[in-house]
Every structure is written in C-alpha cells, then in structure tokens.
Structure 1
Amino acid sequence: MRLPTLPPSLLPALTHVMRPLVRLMLKKGVSYTCFANLLKEIFVDVAEHEFRLDDKPSTDSRISLLTGVHRKDVRRLRAKVSERAAILPEDISFGAHLISVWLNHAPFCAAPGRPLPLARLASMGGECSFDSLVARVSKDIRARVVLDEWLRLGIVRMDEQDQVHLEAMAFIPQRGFDEKAAYFQHNLHDHACAAVHNLTEDGAPFFERSVHYDSLSPAGVEQLREAVKVEGMLVLNGFNLLAAELEEQDVPPADARQRITVGLYFYTEPNPPAVTKPTTASSP
C-alpha cells in the first residue's frame, strides 16, 4: 500500500491550528497523556470507518500501518463501542428551533428577524405568549421549564410587565459551559470539515472566506466588532429565514435529508511589530 506524500506546509499549519485547542485543554485540566490517548482512539476510528478499501472492513494491520498506532492498541480500541454523539444535544436543537420560530413566524415577530416581547402566560397574551411559542414547537415540554433554563443561560430576560424578551438573536448561551461547549463542538467541527474538504477533495469547494487586517487601531477594531455584531446577525438571520422556508416548502424523503451550517466569526488580538534583525556591515 502506497502512503500519501506529506506536504511540507501541512505540519506547520496543524501546529498553528492546535495552539488554541491546547490552550483550552490546559485551562480546563486536560493533560497531554489524556489527550494523546483520546487522539489515538480518534485515529483508529477514522481509519476504520473512513479509509476502507472497496467498502470492506480493514484489518488491524492496515489500520496500524495507516495510523502508526501499535496493532495491539488497534485491536483493543476497535473492540470498544464507538460513541458517536449527536451533532447537537436534543435540548439545544429544540432551543434553536424555538428561537427560529420566534424570529420568523407570526404572531411572535413584527417582521422576520424582529422578535416581539412575549407575555409569559397564554392567559395574558393569548397566541402572542411564551406559552404559545413553546406549544407551537412541542406539546410535551412545559413552557415554565424552558423559561427557567433560558433565564439561567441569559438567552431571555423578564421585564416589569411579565413579558419575555429575547436577548440572544440566535441560540448562543451567555452562561452554561456545557451548552457553550456543545456549540464549540458543532461549529468548530463543521468549519474544520469544510476546510479539510477544500484541501483534500476535487470538485466545487465549500464557501470559506475571511477578511483580515493587521494594523488597525483599538478604536477601529471596536467599530468593526460592532459592525459584525449588527450586520453579521442580519446576514445570519436572512439565511435562517431562507432555510426555514426551504425546509417547509421542499420536504425531502427521510433518506435524502441533509444538514447545513453557515457561520460567521470575529476575532482580534494584539499584533506586535515584526522584529527586524540588525544588519551587519562588512569591512571594505
């Protein structure tokens, strides 16, 4: 079996990409040994399920050759039950759906992307209430349970008139590490999948573009941050509305359904000037 040639630019790129992930692990107490064992499992799992020949199960020897993991470890890891987690936990998927309805469907919004404050109880607001919003999506979940959780996460707030206001224009918890970690898993995974596809596959690439400057003032950065916050949400809300309409108008058979992720992000950090090496003059 011929192994692919390693592009010289790949390892430096992987090193750079891994730095923020290592920073997260060190901050949260994940040691090198723990992550190395996890990485070994992932290498074996990906090689077994995504690098088969003629769709036949691979041998331990072939997986060992592909991954560099010792054959004894390959055998042990393949015997483990693979835990393939859902893309997003069910409660978060439910919450995202609920907010999509609030943002895009009457009587819960003044116009698409302009959610209205909702009376907490149907006895006060009728159809334009938080009770009715939750009932629109599910008859099995009590609105009070959702409201208490969303107040905890900072997604909504209550006013003096007992109305519920949407604080996050998308389901982005302000508090709650587990909820934020679920979105970290989902968004970073799908961005990485798009980038890896564009590096390794033929055919049409996934859209992946960015704008980057390296000499902005702090005031300029803050102006851009606010512009991305406002205008970026308008763009995402537009895609959200289109996706919701397409999902209702063009229902595919169960075996032909596809999921999508559209993302937008902003990041800034200090950019110190490059260190120039002093020149040395040679004697004539």
Structure 2
Amino acid sequence: MSETPDTPPQGASLHGPLARLLRPLVRLLVARGVTFPTIADLLRELYVNVAEYDFALPGKEQTDSRVSLLTGIHRKEVRRLRGSGAPVSTVPASVSRTSRIIARWLADPAFTGPDKTPLPLPRSAEGGAPSFEALVATVTRDLRPRAVLDEWLDRGLAFIDSEGRIVLAETAYVPRADGNAEAQAYYFGRNLHDHIAAATANVMADKPRFLERAAHYDGLSPELAARLEARARELAMEALQQANREAHAACQTDSGGPCRWNFGVYVYTEQSGSAQPSEAEGGKP
C-alpha cells in the first residue's frame, strides 16, 4: 500500500495490517458486485462523520476546515456531507425475535435439561409444562408460535423428531449462507464491528481494555488443522453456551440501562503459502 507524504509514522505503520484486514472484505465486495466507486463514496461519508462527531474538541464547534484537515477531504465535500449521518445497521425484527427465543431456549432452566442442553419441546402442553408455545410466549405475544415454527422449519433452525417434538438444530447458532440473508448480513456487520472496535480501542489506549487474543499455529498438516478446527468449535460452543446461561440469569435481576455486551469467538483455518512455523501464544512445541 502506498504512503502519502503527509502520513505520520504511526499511520504508515498501519498500512500493512490494513491491507491484510481489508483483503477478505474486498474479496466479498467484488464477489457481490460492490464496485470501488461505491465504497469510495461510503468511506468519504464515514470519514466526515467520524471526524465530525468523534474528534470534536470539547466546548468548541466543529468546523468544516478542521474536518477537512483531519480527513484530507476538500472543504466543499465536507460541507456537503456533514450532518448526513453514517449508515447504521438496525436490528431486523425477525433477527431480534429469533435470537431472543433461541437464547432463552439455550439458557432458561425451564427449557433445558440436566446437562444444560435445550430440551426437545412438544408444540403445546398443559399445566405450565415446557412447550414450544410457552417458549415463544416468554419472548413475544405478537406472533403465533405456529408461524414461528413454520419459519424455523423452513430455515433449518429446528426440526421435528420421531415423537413429534420440536428440536433446536445446531445450525441455529449461526445464520447459514442458504438461510435468512438479512440475518446473515446483520451478524456479519455486528460481529466484525465489535471485534474491530475492541481491537481498535486496545491499539488506541495506553492499556488494553478488552480481551482480544488468539492461539495460532502455522506449518500444520491439513489433517491436524482439521482436527484442531473441530476441537476449537467444541470449545467455542461450550464457552458461548455458558456465557449465554450466565448472562440470561443475571438479566433477570438487572434494572436495565443503555449498555450492551457481546461475547464472541471465531475459528479460522486456511492453507497458506508458507510452511514455516511461527510462535503462538504458548509457542509451538
């Protein structure tokens, strides 16, 4: 990535990491037909928006000249773009509803077994016994449980077993590529945003605030890489389910407020061009 004469050293040091970070995103954009001029326009708007609101001086009005100085964008363009607001990803209603129902099914003791896994649920039950209808009713009464079930069966989020009970499918934990495109796009933006936001906060702060770590090994055989990926999936799901159970229990007595919390994990494996092993956290034996 080329450097401009006015780029400070600390900015120039980010060129390499940014190229690596952006490459998979550019691959997605090209694959989905999003052209460079479109992204350039979006970046220009984001630069102005961030400079206008995140870098305003306390007690002073942010001016076009200062935003132009911070961003390198001409004042005429700054004046046109200021106040337009950056695109914000709102939570689709179907995503919010589905995620809340699944989270409760995974965490609420009324709908989980002794091993803390989600129980297979009958469609309905009497006397307050656990059922799919009761589960949906704990989250929303605006939709009929049958409508929710039909949607989930169609998307592969649940299936019906030989006893006629509704079973939560493992694929429900993550939106599939052939499932709800709206949900997949939403979580793509949300999860990447939070990961990058945590890493950015750590780089900009004197002392890292957020936990953002990875165990990584290079120079592995395809067989070992596949085995480690499978084991990492198991560990990740255990951690996510435990975090969800504890958060659900804590929310029952929380007074509520303006904050949000996200606990995420990722696992990635690829065949790289280099076969030279590098040290990871803990080192490669």
Shorter chain as denominator, the TM-score bin is 0.7 to 0.9
The aligned runs of 1:1-284 (5 Å cut-off) are: 5-7=8-10, 8-80=12-84, 82-86=86-90, 88-111=91-114, 113-122=116-125, 127-168=129-170, 171-174=173-176, 175-252=179-256, 254=257, 257-273=258-274
Residues 207/36 of structure 1: CA separation in 2 closer, same or farther (3 Å cut): same
Query: Considering only aligned residues, what root-mean-square deviation do their CA atoms show, in Å?
Result: 2.3
TM-score (norm 2): 0.86
Structure with max Cα Rg:
1
Residue pair 1:156, 1:166 contacting (<8 A) in 2 also = yes
SS at match of 1:25: helix
- Report the counterpart of residue 3 of structure 2 in structure 1: none
Cα distance in 2 for residues equivalent to 1:44 and 1:176: 33
Cα distance in 2 for residues equivalent to 1:134 and 1:248: 17
The answer for unaligned runs of 5 or more in structure 2 is 1-5, 277-285
Residue pair 1:95, 1:171 contacting (<8 A) in 2 also = no
Cα distance in 2 for residues equivalent to 1:246 and 1:45: 36
Residues 273/173 of structure 1: CA separation in 2 closer, same or farther (3 Å cut): closer
SS at match of 1:178: helix
Alpha-carbon offset, residue 9 of structure 1: 2.0
Cα distance in 1 for residues equivalent to 2:208 and 2:40: 34
Cα distance in 1 for residues equivalent to 2:46 and 2:201: 18
Alpha-carbon offset, residue 243 of structure 1: 1.3
Residue pair 2:123, 2:166 contacting (<8 A) in 1 also = yes
Percentage of pairs with the same residue: 40
Alpha-carbon offset, residue 150 of structure 1: 1.9
Cα distance in 1 for residues equivalent to 2:275 and 2:221: 17
Residue pair 2:158, 2:172 contacting (<8 A) in 1 also = no
Residues 259/162 of structure 1: CA separation in 2 closer, same or farther (3 Å cut): same
Alpha-carbon offset, residue 100 of structure 1: 1.7
Matched letter for residue 132 of structure 1: A
Residue pair 2:122, 2:132 contacting (<8 A) in 1 also = yes
Alpha-carbon offset, residue 120 of structure 1: 2.3
Alpha-carbon offset, residue 126 of structure 1: 6.0
SS at match of 2:58: coil
Cα distance in 2 for residues equivalent to 1:111 and 1:160: 22
Matched letter for residue 11 of structure 1: H
Residue pair 1:48, 1:57 contacting (<8 A) in 2 also = no
Residue pair 1:153, 1:173 contacting (<8 A) in 2 also = no
Divergent runs of 4+, >6 A? none
**Corresponding residue pairs, total:** 268
Residues 82/195 of structure 1: CA separation in 2 closer, same or farther (3 Å cut): closer
SS at match of 1:269: coil
Alignment deviations for residues 70-99 of structure 1 (CA, whole Å, 9 cap, x no partner): 11111111253554333x333322222211
Cα distance in 2 for residues equivalent to 1:117 and 1:52: 54
Residues 28/55 of structure 1: CA separation in 2 closer, same or farther (3 Å cut): farther
Residue pair 2:236, 2:265 contacting (<8 A) in 1 also = yes
Matched letter for residue 170 of structure 2: A
Alpha-carbon offset, residue 202 of structure 1: 2.6
